[in-house]
Structure 1
């Protein structure tokens, strides 16, 4: 596989590591562009579920292309031992790196969440649920455009269908609106700098989700507008039937105003 990969791309330094492999900066002579090459050693994967995720990810990414807020997959190289995915190269800092520094202003957060909701909406329209939305999976290109990445845990689901199991962060209840819940959690953290639910373990956080209402501590959310809080309540809603879809969230006044602090009528 490496020989075939090197025939098409010039490989440079390692720029990151994921759960399954290494990410290397590479150059494509045909397009004269730098790319990211995610190389996975399949021989070390003994878990059948992990292998299934690897096989599924490039298929799902190909199905979702093209979309301006979803990471582009350019090429796939595979043999019995290795898998290499050639991806759009993004900046080294993720959304996680941004939000650990400081809470974001409402216009900053609105710009990010709007792009994320656009990506989620596109996924849901073609029957894909990401299932592992978290700040580390939100990347940005050199022009500051959001790119949703890491579809290893994604699933296809039929319209009105549901899924079982727990994946990623435990802020979940299962149909495609799980992605809206997770996006709402990220928006809460962007604006407040803290997560909406606490616990020492995944199970404790899950219990906090089940028994607790969404709260906005005055010390942290004093300057956050009623419109932003209204959207958060509708995204982080335990009742899935009342929780916003991605399209509904995109039509909310706070999103449409670009995060202007307008009150909800």
Structure 2
């Protein structure tokens, strides 16, 4: 089995498998944004630009900022390493917590691009959030995360025991969630609108709901930890995503042709 704790050496440069997975995740997300049923070629921004193109530009800006943030997260997390041995710090694997730094940098770039291009945050999220389910699936496959002890044949050997490959469970659940959102968007686009109010599924809400469901389900195979009202903190975070997604999964629009008496 692929040793996901390692990486790829290119001369003096070391690319951990997590970083490789992150790069593939970015490419997968860009593909989904161009091909997904949540695109709308006729949608325009206040500056008369294509919403899809502006959203994709925002996505790439966020991806570049995230990758740079991940690579140089050690400047924030372990500044002493850069001060003492800058050459070694540059080519070594990023420390634990680098993903959070990358996420913060990507989010900031995303919001700044949307504000500069006068793009609706909701329109941006409806295109990016469903695509991130596919990105998450790619990243999870490469980000090794072992859970509780198991006797199942696909358990990952660790010492004298085998443990659940939680990252593989998470990847399979996320890619399933991605295709559910894809099918929902495709089916919604093929139905003609009723003459009265239109109730449709918001891609962002459905994606967040399924993201919470995927993380909560995979979390039951994770290592035991402190419980609060029967759930670990990460599971409560998944429950919060479920609630947010459920509250925003539907939207009701009134056709412009319908007038009040």
TM-score under structure 2 length normalisation: 0.28
Larger RCO, structure (CA 8 Å, separation 6 or more)? 2
- The higher radius of gyration belongs to 2
Name the one with the larger helix percent.
2
TM-score under structure 1 length normalisation: 0.28
Name the one with the larger strand percent.
1
